[in-house]
Chain A
Amino acid sequence: MTDMALVLGATLCMVAFHINVVEAASRSRWGHLFFVGLAIGILAKGPVAIVLTSIPIFLWLLMGNRWSSLAFLPRKTGIPVLATLTLPWDPMAPGNCAYSQR
């Protein structure tokens, strides 16, 4: 399979998003796991992981008119989790900035 780490990240995003919406009892844990899945995807294949996971979630929200369920995501604590997992690698890799200027 092409890039199983990306598959794992994307699957974790889908599963965690759905459980976060439909199971009120474990909302916090799976809401944060959604951002962990996003971090796995980003470390596996870069920011394109956000696009790959948001397309099916967008369609799911659109098809059932489920936009209100977006509010269940723990953004205030989840985005810092995502940032601490993904941001440290980028400036540590020498030449990353130089590459983007090429």
Chain B
Amino acid sequence: MVTVDPELQYIRERKAPAPVRTFKLTSIQQRFLFGFLATLLGIRLVLIFWLPITDTNEARYAEIARKMLETGDWITPQFDYGVPFWGKPPLHTWFSAIGMKVFDVGHFGARLPILLLSFAVLLLCFTWMRRQRGSDQALVGVTVLAPSVLFLDPQLLS
């Protein structure tokens, strides 16, 4: 039995969408969730600044980005001088290299742009949920996504 979800059915039959069961947060609850997210952001910033690079993957990507900055070759990521890195196209290397250009060579500069990318993911999820259900629901959803383990991992390049 195939079920057609109400969202699409109303497009097909041009009917008004079925009312969705919903909830509202009190302002104290909203403030609590915002505070939680702000605390999380603070912890992440401290961690990416304070925690050195220990993971081999992260060390490799950070070094590839450093070589991109040093050699000025923004087209081909390099394993070693003159040895191209074929694992990935250069988008994530561009981000880390730009971060290192702004904040000097080091783990913070390499990680910060990736952290900003993760904010973009959260913002995108928030926007989507707000459009579909409402901003309170979006806030709860983002609060579920933000502290998940892989999302919180400070070794952002690994």
Contacts and interface: CB of A to CB of B under 8 A. Distances in A.
Interface residues of A, number: 35
A4 B118 contact: yes
B92 A3 contact: yes
B121 A8 contact: yes
B76 interface: yes
Nearest to B17: A22
Main secondary structure of the interface of A (DSSP, over half): helix
A43 B11 CA distance: 34
Contacts, number: 87
B88 A46 contact: yes
B131 interface: yes
A90 to B, nearest CB: 8
B152 to A, nearest CB: 8
B3 A4 contact: no
Contact of A4 (B88, B125, B132, B156): B156
A95 to B, nearest CB: 6
Nearest to B84: A95
5 contacts: A3-B88, A3-B92, A11-B125, A22-B8, A94-B75
Interface of A: 1-8, 11-12, 15, 18-19, 21-24, 40, 42-46, 63-66, 68-69, 89, 92-95, 99
